[in-house]
């Protein structure tokens, strides 16, 4: 038996050596510098069909365009943010991207530890434990003008209502926000502003679920709005908002998705307000590759194709399509500016 064990050890050692041999990858010794980009997801993971997924899409596009070396780490709990960001930074990555405001504090901490490493964070900044922006010169914040995207779906809702092409046509539409925080209110502000612009008599009801994860809570708020006559419901509440889409579907009404294209989430989804995290991620990488990294906020809007809309399970009449194009062009040109605060 003893020699069997020895034999096993021998095999194990051989296996280990092979593993080490396989593990050592050839380092790029070419003439041009190969940039190393690390992406850390939040606890949503890569398949969240939203922020993390879109960030990955942007990373892959940058990989094929710039030939960067990319590496992704999914965070499985909040305990992982700091070690995951630190890991890339300690390996001298050229840019470390954190996805989502949940990582603000971790980015603030790690960017302070590694002042020579560039960081980018989606929808947030590098903060201290009280949420104060530390304004580190190696951190770029990727923000969005959500009101631009909100305005586009607001145009659709307002015109459908005005033309009597919605389901109930009582002149009432609504929005369900997760929590009353700036990114949520930006969306709703643009939505209400544009709907009122198209149909001055329209009533836009706004409610909050105080939750971003539990669909049941958003469904409750949505049902209240449906009882008040709303027949187009805009969800601005992440995973919780799926309950809004479902409530609208069950009542045979229209709904509008948020952040990513939510066409597949429910048949009731007629359009989605888009926050193009892929564009933001790609741009941040591009800046680093071209040596144009800048700290502070970089804002994505319709003007730089970082926000927009998608038309989903409904074919829009030609005049609405035309109006969408007009409004989009005006926002792009700066002649129309959707407000950041709910009017």
Interacting residue ranges for another protein, rule: CB under 8 A? 1, 15-16, 18-20, 22-25, 38, 43, 71-84, 86-88, 90-92, 102, 105, 112-115, 129-131, 179-182, 210
Q: Which is nearer to another protein, 80 or 266 (CB)?
A: 80
Residue 19 in tokens: 């593993």
Smallest distance, Å, CB 231 to another protein?
30
Strand partners, 205: 174
C-beta separation of 112 from 268 below 8 A: no
Q: In this structure, what are the phi and psi dihedrals at residue 248, rounded to the nearest 5 degrees?
A: -65, -40
Q: Which is nearer to another protein, 75 or 157 (CB)?
A: 75
3-class SS of residue 339: coil
Smallest distance, Å, CB 85 to another protein?
10
Q: How far is Cα of residue 74 from the mean position of the Cα atoms in its chain?
A: 16
Q: Which is nearer to another protein, 209 or 225 (CB)?
A: 209
Smallest distance, Å, CB 212 to another protein?
9
Positive or negative, the Cα torsion across 263, 265, 267, 272?
negative
C-beta separation of 86 from 108 below 8 A: no
C-beta separation of 332 from 289 below 8 A: no
Q: Which is nearer to another protein, 72 or 314 (CB)?
A: 72
Residue 102 in tokens: 């949940």
Q: Which is nearer to another protein, 43 or 303 (CB)?
A: 43
Q: Which is nearer to another protein, 158 or 238 (CB)?
A: 238
Residues in the chain: 343
Smallest distance, Å, CB 314 to another protein?
33
Smallest distance, Å, CB 319 to another protein?
39
Residue 265 parent element (H or E): none
Residue 110 parent element (H or E): helix 104-113
Smallest distance, Å, CB 157 to another protein?
26
């Amino acid at each position: 038996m003893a020699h069997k064990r020895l034999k096993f050890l021998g095999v194990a050692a051989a296996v280990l050596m092979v593993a080490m041999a396989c593990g050592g990858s050839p380092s790029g010794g070419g003439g041009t510098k190969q940039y190393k980009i690390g992406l850390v997801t939040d606890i949503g993971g890569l398949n969240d069909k939203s922020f993390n997924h879109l960030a990955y899409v942007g990373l892959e596009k940058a990989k094929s365009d710039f030939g960067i070396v990319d590496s992704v780490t999914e965070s499985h709990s909040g305990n992982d943010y700091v070690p995951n960001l630190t890991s890339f930074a300690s390996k001298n990555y050229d840019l470390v991207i954190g996805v989502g405001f949940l990582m603000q504090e971790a980015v603030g901490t790690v960017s302070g530890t590694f002042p020579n490493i560039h960081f980018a964070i989606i929808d947030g900044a590098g903060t201290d434990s009280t949420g104060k922006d530390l304004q580190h010169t190696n951190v770029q914040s990727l923000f969005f003008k959500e009101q631009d995207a909100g305005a586009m779906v607001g145009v659709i809702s307002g015109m459908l209502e005005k033309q009597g092409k919605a389901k109930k046509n009582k002149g009432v539409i609504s929005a369900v926000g997760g929590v009353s925080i700036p990114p949520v209110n930006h969306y709703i502000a643009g939505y209400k502003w544009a709907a009122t612009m198209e149909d001055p008599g329209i009533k836009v009801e706004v409610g909050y679920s105080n939750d971003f994860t539990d669909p049941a809570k958003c469904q409750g708020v949505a049902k209240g709005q449906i009882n008040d006559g709303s027949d187009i419901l805009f969800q601005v509440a992440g995973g919780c908002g799926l309950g809004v889409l479902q409530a609208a579907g069950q009542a045979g009404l229209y709904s509008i998705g948020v952040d990513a294209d939510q066409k597949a989430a429910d048949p009731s989804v007629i359009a989605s307000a888009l926050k193009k995290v892929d564009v933001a991620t790609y741009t941040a990488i591009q800046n680093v590759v071209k040596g144009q990294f800048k700290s502070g906020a970089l804002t994505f809007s319709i003007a730089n194709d970082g926000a927009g809309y998608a038309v989903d399970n409904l074919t829009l009449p030609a005049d609405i399509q035309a109006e969408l194009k007009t409004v989009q062009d005006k926002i792009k040109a700066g002649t129309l500016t959707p407000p950041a605060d709910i009017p």
